[in-house]
Amino acid sequence: MPILPIDAGRYGSREVKDIFEEEQALRYALEFEACVAEAQGMLGVIPRDAAYEIARKARSGMVRLERVKELEAVREHDVAAMVEALVEVCDDVARPWVHYGLTSYDVVDSRIAMQLRDALTIIEEKIKRLTLLLAEKAEAYRDLPAVGRTHGQHASIISFGLKFAVWASDMLMHIKGMEEAKERALVCKTLGVVGTGSLMGDKAVDVQARVAEMLNLRPVTAATQVVSRERLAELIARLVLIACTLEKIAVEVRNLQRTEIGEVMEPFREGQMGSSAVPVKRNPIKSERVTSLARMMRAMLGVALENIPLWHERDLSNSANERFIIPMSIILLDEMLGSMIGVISGLIVDVDGIRRNIEASKGQVFAEFVLDALIRKGMDRIRAYSMVQSIAFSASSSGMEFRDALKGDPRVTALLSMDEIDSLFDARRHLASSSRIIDGVVSAVHKVCRESTS
């Protein structure tokens, strides 16, 4: 029975998890063996009829996972068992040339790259979908003033749409970063035991180049027995960075859904239960899930970094943990993306609640603009700052509206008229360059996400 939640179907989409299933992993490895044989046959490294037979049998489905496992139980080596199972189904002409010039990690590293190639295609589409959703929300709420908070305190006025624009901009950065990381991580290797291509001689590099082209990968430039783990660590680092951005969005949703703030709410299906004990609870469970999984993601990066300094041309200290961190980092990020797509697409925004919160500080959220108005009238900045602070603190202590306190202070009214003071408390006047910023982000999002999928 399943032990891990990803095996029980709790996390990750079926399309991503299928890529890492044992049966599919075997098919990737056999496709690699087929391509290597074909390339070797084209270049005269092995006989052409042997190459044809190996490729045909590798793709035939005759090599069964059950048989590979039987052999592995005896050999205690998964790749050797796969090679032996392939040899068993080939004819006598081909058998000597199966896996020729290769080592086990040629298969493993190239198979991992093939899995990542296909899984990242799915991940990238979901990243683009989320980025487009964020851009849509940025446009929808571009003209809605809201409280901007720093240190958990009301600071100034922000366009509510700007929150989404910032996140969309972050996701664009990740889209570019992913492409760069893929260039270095999606590589194949056919260079044998210590990376020299020893049995294939001068043709080893040519074989590798042809195999890479067949598999839509890049040939590794240089390697030991294994592809340098910096490449995988960089890719996992990018996946973790994406996870952290998703958590940043999730934390903001969770905070804004607090009862005391009440500006947004996760979608809540009919029949859904927020609590087993409290019927009125509507908890931000999807955002909390994203936060929880982000912690797991960050832990996996540490393991990937530890795998970089292997002994000499390699040791086996990376092998066992990579069976966890590679599929898990992809599957968990897939789950996080799916959760956040659901949250953003169905997000309930309480416009009245946002407006109420602007008034919650009794106008003190406009202090930045009062300070600026006094400076523009010629008052020294430090004096103006101290005066506004003193009036605000006094008004807060007495429960007085900040605007009324300003109007009752002769130092202020000596410089600002009543109408001028009133105009400072119009939130719509303080969105500044928000529209230009949002327009720039939305334009960039459409260029990257829509044109790339058209």
- Residues 308 and 190 both lie in one domain: yes
- Residues 415 and 344 both lie in one domain: no
Question: What's the pLDDT tens digit per position in 285-319?
Answer: 999 999 999 999 999 999 999 999 999 999 999 99
Residue 4 lies in a domain: no
What is the spatial distance between Cα 399 and Cα 413, in angstroms, rounded to a whole number? 21
What is the spatial distance between Cα 126 and Cα 384, in angstroms, rounded to a whole number? 50
Tokens of 7: 């095996």
Task: Supply the angle between the helices 78-89 and 104-140 in degrees, to the nearest 10.
Answer: 110
- Residues 199 and 249 both lie in one domain: yes
- Residues 63 and 191 both lie in one domain: no
Find the mean pLDDT for residues 406-427. Answer: 96
Tally of structural domains, the chain: 3
Q: pLDDT value at position 271?
A: 62
Assess contact for 431 and 358: CB atoms under 8 A. no
Assess contact for 41 and 52: CB atoms under 8 A. yes
- Residues 193 and 272 both lie in one domain: yes
Nearest to 261 by CA among 324, 355, 188: 355
H or E element, residue 220: none
Task: State which of 74, 97, 120 marks the end of a domain.
Answer: 97
- Residues 279 and 378 both lie in one domain: no
**pLDDT band per the 50, 70, 90 thresholds, residue 273:** low
Q: pLDDT value at position 234?
A: 97
What is the spatial distance between Cα 43 and Cα 204, in angstroms, rounded to a whole number? 10
Q: pLDDT value at position 279?
A: 65
Residue 68 has pLDDT above 60, yes or no: yes
Residue 440 lies in a domain: no
> 420 is in which domain, residue-wise?
364-424
Nearest to 288 by CA among 245, 315, 251: 251
What is the spatial distance between Cα 205 and Cα 190, in angstroms, rounded to a whole number? 8
Residue 269 has pLDDT above 90, yes or no: no
Question: What's the pLDDT tens digit per position in 387-399?
Answer: 999 999 999 999 9
- Residues 122 and 58 both lie in one domain: no
What is the spatial distance between Cα 39 and Cα 430, in angstroms, rounded to a whole number? 65
Find the mean pLDDT for residues 165-169. Answer: 98
Q: pLDDT value at position 21?
A: 96
User: Which segment of 113-122, 146-155, 162-171, 445-454 scores lowest on mean pLDDT?
Assistant: 445-454
Nearest to 18 by CA among 118, 130, 123: 118
Residue 429 lies in a domain: no
Q: pLDDT value at position 281?
A: 66
What is the spatial distance between Cα 301 and Cα 237, in angstroms, rounded to a whole number? 6
Question: Which amino acid, residue 393?
Answer: F
- Residues 48 and 184 both lie in one domain: no
- Residues 303 and 204 both lie in one domain: yes
User: Which segment of 182-186, 230-234, 253-257, 270-274 scores lowest on mean pLDDT?
Assistant: 270-274
**pLDDT band per the 50, 70, 90 thresholds, residue 452:** low
DSSP 325: H
Residue 329 lies in a domain: yes
Which residue, chain included where needed, has tokens 């009324």?
404
Q: Give buried/exposed letters for 233-249 (b at 16+ CB in 10 A, else e).
A: bbbbbbbbbbbebbbbb
- Residues 226 and 329 both lie in one domain: yes
What is the spatial distance between Cα 356 and Cα 358, in angstroms, rounded to a whole number? 5
- Residues 35 and 109 both lie in one domain: no
Q: In CATH, what number is assigned to the domain containing residue 411?
A: 1.10.40.30
What is the spatial distance between Cα 194 and Cα 359, in angstroms, rounded to a whole number? 69
Q: In CATH, what number is assigned to the domain containing residue 85?
A: 1.10.275.10
Angle among Cα 121, 40, 76 to the nearest 5 degrees reads 70
Residue 71 lies in a domain: yes
| Active site residue ranges | 151, 275
pTM as predicted? 0.94
- Residues 303 and 408 both lie in one domain: no
**Burial tier of 431 (Cβ tally within 10 Å: 0-12, 13-18, 19+):** buried
